[in-house]
């Protein structure tokens, strides 16, 4: 049952005190504010501006931004919890918050100089959505085959190129754009730039019509002689590859959080439905075959959750987590797809119609094995780590 926004939890400012309280606050918000909008957002392929504002007001759009810059001053693990809880209700909102925190804000906190932090972190915590623009038509899995160029011109760089599949692009006003300042140098020419919406020569282009996570915007970006001041270089010139690799390793944990949230949501809905749906005179939850399928799904979801939490804890502790991030990303995405598929099966004919939530979970799950590094790339990373 929905409740008035005034009844929702106050902004989350004391995140470190109690992770469980934080989790419950985000869950309450998701159930009260997001759940009534899920079908409408999916059909219209759009997140209402009022909901984005409510996410900022709650404090989940600036979790790791230091309090001195107006953020919540939380941990990476808090970001994981937020993405998980939001994704239980709608993975589209989960990924919006994920990209904001684990990619964009994380990059500014780790790689931004004092000037960039002062100019952008308060905005990202208060009311401004960010996007992360690395992918191109020919550089998906081969991320560093990008052809977007940055030509040096006095005290600025002139960017030209086209980015594809950029999450949050419709809502964002701040974009981290990766371009090469020296094509002959290969990946060592890649540099990260901060580009603002409205900059001459910069355009947010076509929005993709997607299978799943439809409310999450995915758009192309066009850069045509887009002049960016040198002060908007994030990190070192020619070291953008390092920013991209290390940020994406952390972003994979965020996608893991989205996938376990999705799996939890699908399993919760299915358990409830099997207690209500009757066949042969009794609820199908009383049939041993159904019980065993649900039990196996519960085992998978618990295992996937622990891999995500383990990777996030290692990251917060400053310990190596490359292997664990790859493991949690591939495993959680596979579990999400299996559990969502089982949910559709156990809902029967109702699982195939939009009146019930599981067909959307099924559609949303597929992207988990594709973005932030495909499953094949995760397997390659895992193989390199265990064979080293």
Active site residues: 372
> What string of DSSP letters covers 162-184?
EEEEEETTTTEEEEEEEEES-GG
Beta strands at 129-133 and 172-180: parallel, antiparallel or unpaired: parallel
Q: How far apart are CA 305 and CA 81, in angstroms?
A: 11
SS3 label, residue 282: strand
Q: Are 319 and 243 in contact (CB under 8 A)?
A: no
Residue with tokens 């371009």: 179
**∠109-113-118 over CA atoms, to 5°?**
75
Torsion (CA) 205, 211, 216, 219 in degrees, nearest 10: -10
Residues shown for the chain: 388
Q: How does strand 278-279 pair with strand 282-283?
A: antiparallel
């Amino acid at each position: 049952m929905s409740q008035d926004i005034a009844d929702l939890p106050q902004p989350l400012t004391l995140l470190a005190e109690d992770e469980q309280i934080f989790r419950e606050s985000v869950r309450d918000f998701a159930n009260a504010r997001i759940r009534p909008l899920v079908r409408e957002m999916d059909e219209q392929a759009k997140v209402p501006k009022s909901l984005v504002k409510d996410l900022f007001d709650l404090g989940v759009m600036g979790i790791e931004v230091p309090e001195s810059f107006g953020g919540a001053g939380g941990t990476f693990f808090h970001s994981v919890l937020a993405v998980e809880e939001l994704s239980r209700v709608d993975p589209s909102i989960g990924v919006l918050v994920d990209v904001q925190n684990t990619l964009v804000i994380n990059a500014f906190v780790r790689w931004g100089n004092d000037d960039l932090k002062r100019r952008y972190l308060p905005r990202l915590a208060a009311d401004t959505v960010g996007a992360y623009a690395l992918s191109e038509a020919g550089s998906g899995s081969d991320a560093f085959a990008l052809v977007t160029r940055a030509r040096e011109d006095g005290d600025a760089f002139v960017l030209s190129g086209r980015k594809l599949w950029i999450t949050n692009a419709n809502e964002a006003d701040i974009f981290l754009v990766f371009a090469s300042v020296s094509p002959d140098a290969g990946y060592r020419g890649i540099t990260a730039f901060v580009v603002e919406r409205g900059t001459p020569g910069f355009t947010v282009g076509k929005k993709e019509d997607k299978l799943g996570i439809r409310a999450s915007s995915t758009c192309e970006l066009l850069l045509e002689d887009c002049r960016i001041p040198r002060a908007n270089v994030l990190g070192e010139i020619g070291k953008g590859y390092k920013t991209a690799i290390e940020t994406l390793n952390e972003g994979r944990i965020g996608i893991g959080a989205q996938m376990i949230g999705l799996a939890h949501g699908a399993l919760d809905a299915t358990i409830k439905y099997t207690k209500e749906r009757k066949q042969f005179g009794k609820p199908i939850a009383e049939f041993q075959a159904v019980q065993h399928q649900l039990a196996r799904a519960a085992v998978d979801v618990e295992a996937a959750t622990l891999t995500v939490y383990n990777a996030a804890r290692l990251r917060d502790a400053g310990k190596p987590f490359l292997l664990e991030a790859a493991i949690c990303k591939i495993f959680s995405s596979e579990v999400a797809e299996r559990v969502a598929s089982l949910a559709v099966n156990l809902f029967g004919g109702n699982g195939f119609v939009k009146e019930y939530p599981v067909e959307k979970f099924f559609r949303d799950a597929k992207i988990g094995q594709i973005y932030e590094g495909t499953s094949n790339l995760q397997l390659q990373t895992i193989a390199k780590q265990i064979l080293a």
